[in-house]
Structure 1
Amino acid sequence: MTSPNPQLSSAPTLLLVDDEAVFRERLARAFRERGFEVGTAGSYEEALAQATRESPEVAVVDLRMPGRGGLELVRALHALDGSTRIIVLTGYGSIATAVEAMKLGAFNYLPKPADVDDLLLAFSRGPGEAAHVTEDFQPPSLARAEWEHIQRVLSDCGGNISEAARRLGLHRRSLQRKLQKYPPAQ
């Protein structure tokens, strides 16, 4: 059997950590179809327990998870086994978090949505080597980025509008008005 990635062994072990179960399982299935032995986890604690039992060769870690986040997990996985190549995935990326992830031991950093081919390409590039942006790439508008951020904070607060407004530095009624609008298309 040929290796899915020439730099990895014939049946590489991969730890896939994301709090979104549907995304995690879909990505895990795609990696399995490409010859990986995949372990999945939905939280920092589950991931650390799996990595302690058997250190993965590669790991894909979501940056934002309830409880302890992806950056803390990158630090812990790197401390367990410095040879584990870790890619951080995020829908809310920034240059600061990308730099922090790399300092903590991440091999690379990708924005969501990313599919298995994007991840395999990121593992094949050098550490921290950015993906090439195509000419047709359209970054989300400021309004769309704001909408997604508000939704994530609201989700982190369990739907509590008052708490989300406090964390966002908004008045509760201002947040309610923003939530009544439809999400921006782009």
Structure 2
Amino acid sequence: MTPEDFAADPLLGDDASLLLVDDDKPFLTRLARAMEGRGFAVVSAESVEEAVGAVKHHAPAYAVVDLRLADGNGLDVVSAIRDKRPDARIIILTGYGNIATAVTAVKLGAIDYLSKPADADDIYAALTRTGDDRVAPPENPMSADRVRWEHIQRVYEMCERNVSETARRLNMHRRTLQRILAKRAPR
């Protein structure tokens, strides 16, 4: 499908092309179906390589990109989209949310950063949010475990994802750090 196949939604503008990138096939299929129902012309990709190929063929106006993919980092897809289409509205979607990667994603050009599980309504709202709309602050503050985890993630990003250097800077055993990085973020 091409963007011309859809009637122009006033929130989407003239080009409603949407690239969805996630390696969770059932989630990707459900999200693609839901976003098509909201007026997007959806192209799906399950890997960084597939997504970058799709961007080379046609840079989308909108994108929802998973941060961690089987063959790499979703931030590489964000960069590829930004190079071809600076005005694209890109959202990072991940189950491994942390402040450091959110900041990196925004610096690369993402407009929002959503943690999984996010439903199609949340994603649509984030894609179509204007500058005047503000996201409500969280009702529950971060736990001490979450603050610690965020700090570790920030140092890890500062060290360009080098586990050995991060462990040295945090005065932590490398294997302990690897175990922490492999787990999901605490609530």
TM-score (norm. length: structure 1) = 0.69
Is residue 119 of structure 2 the alignment partner of residue 112 of structure 1? no
- Aligned counterparts of 1:68 and 1:82: Cα–Cα separation in 2: 22
Residue among 35, 41, 44 paired with 1:37: 41
2:22 partner letter = D
Partner of 1:180: none
1:62 corresponds to which letter in structure 2?
Answer: D
* CA gap 1:76/1:140 in 2 versus in 1, 3 angstroms: farther
SS at match of 1:118: helix
2:119 and 2:142 map into 1 onto residues whose CA distance is 18
* 1:11 shift after superposition: 6.1
SS in structure 2 of the partner of residue 107 of structure 1:
strand
- Counterpart residue number, 1:125: 129
Rounded to whole Å, the distance in 1 between the matches of 2:142 and 2:116 is 12
The 1-side partners of 2:128 and 2:24 are apart by 25
Q: State the Cα distance separating 1:142 from its structure 2 match.
A: 4.7
Gaps of 5+ in 1: 147-166, 176-185
Alpha-carbon shift at residue 125 of structure 1 (Å):
2.4
Whether the aligned pair in 1 keeps the contact of 2:47 and 2:70 (CA below 8 Å) is yes
Of residues 49, 56, 68 in structure 2, which corresponds to 1:52? 56
Report the equivalent of 1:158. Answer: none
Q: Tell me the equivalent position of 1:24.
A: 28
Specify the alignment match of 1:70 in structure 2.
74
Cα drift, residue 168 of structure 1: 6.8
* d(CA) in 2 for partners of 1:140, 1:92: 16
Identity %: 43
**Aligned partners of 1:142, 1:130: CA distance in 2, in Å?**
27
Q: Which residue of 2 aligns with 1:7?
A: 11
Pair 168,114 (structure 1): closer, same or farther in 2 beyond 3 Å: farther
* 1:10 Cα deviation after fit: 5.3
Q: 1:82 aligns with which of 78, 81, 86?
A: 86
